[in-house]
């Protein structure tokens, strides 16, 4: 699809498309390194479409992506000092994306760009200290999913850990998990990858038996409560995404 022929949908049309849909939010951490072309959840949601949202050129690595996010203004000077891509490469990736790309400021010479509805977000989304706390791209993705009233969010690549197993970027993780909480409060089902630190604690400490319920040990928990908590009695959720 050429950039000349491509006309991106409006933000209102995107909202209509994704209302009630299942979406997979793919960031850039280790758990994003997989093929999403066959990713589905037929057993739990038969017949329902599953959409992949990507960020920062992720639509190139994941060609089934239907919506991309690049929140830095394409005309910003930040692209002149980018260590991964040249400005020319970035501009080409944006022009030829072939899918709508959510951004901060849209420019007509870059047809795929669609502006994030910041004013509406300020009016409708929860704030802390009068701020939306949108400190990285994944948070814009979650916020837009809330505004679009999606049904479920699955998270890949929002891992916040280093190769040695230690959590990193605590400030970024805290903000992301805040927005996940807001999505859950809005009635959106949340699922995170089994090997990611996201929305989990003590992932690398086998001495912690119960995950997510402080003060309880799974071997002393009545089975009725385990069922209510959706736990398997071994400190884990009954339903998890993937196994490696």
How much is the pTM? Answer: 0.81
pLDDT at residue number 22: 92
210, 221 Cβ separation under 8 angstroms: yes
What distance in Å separates the CA atoms of residue 212 and residue 217, rounded to the nearest whole number? 11
The answer, yes or no, to whether residue 203 has pLDDT greater than 70, is: no
Hey, what are 35's tokens? 């093929």
pLDDT the model gives residue 233: 44
DSSP lists the bridge partners of residue 190 as 153
At 193 the three-state DSSP class reads: strand
Query: Taking residues 179-194, what's their average pLDDT?
Result: 91
Mean pLDDT of all residues in 89-100: 93
pLDDT (mean) for 85-111? 93
The confidence score (pLDDT) of residue 166 equals 65
Average pLDDT rounded to a whole number, residues 172-198: 89
Structural Rg of the chain based on CA atoms:
19
Strand locations in the chain, DSSP E? 22-26, 50-55, 65-69, 101-103, 113-115, 152-156, 189-192
pLDDT of residue 62 exceeding 70, the answer is yes
Q: Could you tell me what percent of the chain has a pLDDT over 70?
A: 71
How far apart are alpha carbons 231 and 237 in whole angstroms? Answer: 5
Taking residues 118-143, what's their average pLDDT?
92
241: helix, strand or coil:
strand
CB neighbours (10 Å) of residue 183?
19
Distance CA 167, CA 146 (A): 27
pLDDT of residue 102: 98
Rounded Cα–Cα distance for residues 92 and 87 (Å) = 9
Mean pLDDT value of segment 139-149: 97
Please enumerate in sequence order all residues whose Cβ is within 8 A of that of 223, keeping only pairs 6 or more positions apart, or say none.
233
Percentage of the residues of the chain whose pLDDT score is greater than 90: 44
């Amino acid at each position: 699809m050429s950039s000349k022929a491509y006309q991106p949908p409006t933000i209102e049309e995107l909202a209509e498309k994704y209302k009630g849909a299942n979406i997979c939010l793919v960031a850039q951490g280790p758990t994003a390194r997989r093929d999403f072309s066959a990713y589905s959840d037929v057993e739990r949601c038969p017949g329902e479409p599953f959409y992949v949202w990507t960020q920062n050129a992720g639509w190139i690595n994941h060609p089934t992506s239907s919506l991309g996010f690049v929140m830095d203004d394409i005309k910003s000077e930040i692209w002149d000092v980018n260590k991964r891509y040249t400005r020319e490469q970035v501009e080409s990736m944006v022009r030829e994306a072939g899918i709508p790309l959510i951004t901060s400021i849209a420019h007509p010479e870059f047809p795929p760009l669609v502006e994030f509805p910041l004013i509406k977000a300020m009016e409708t989304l929860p704030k802390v200290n009068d701020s939306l706390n949108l400190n990285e791209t994944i948070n814009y993705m979650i916020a837009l999913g809330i505004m679009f009233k999606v049904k479920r969010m699955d998270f890949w690549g929002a891992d916040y850990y280093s190769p040695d197993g230690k959590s990193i970027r605590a400030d970024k993780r805290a903000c992301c998990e805040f927005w996940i909480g807001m999505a859950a409060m809005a009635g959106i089902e949340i699922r995170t990858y089994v090997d990611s630190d996201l929305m989990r604690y003590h992932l690398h400490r086998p001495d912690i038996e119960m995950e997510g319920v402080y003060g309880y040990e799974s071997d002393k928990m009545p089975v009725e409560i385990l069922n209510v908590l959706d736990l398997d009695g071994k400190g884990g959720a009954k339903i998890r995404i993937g196994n490696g």
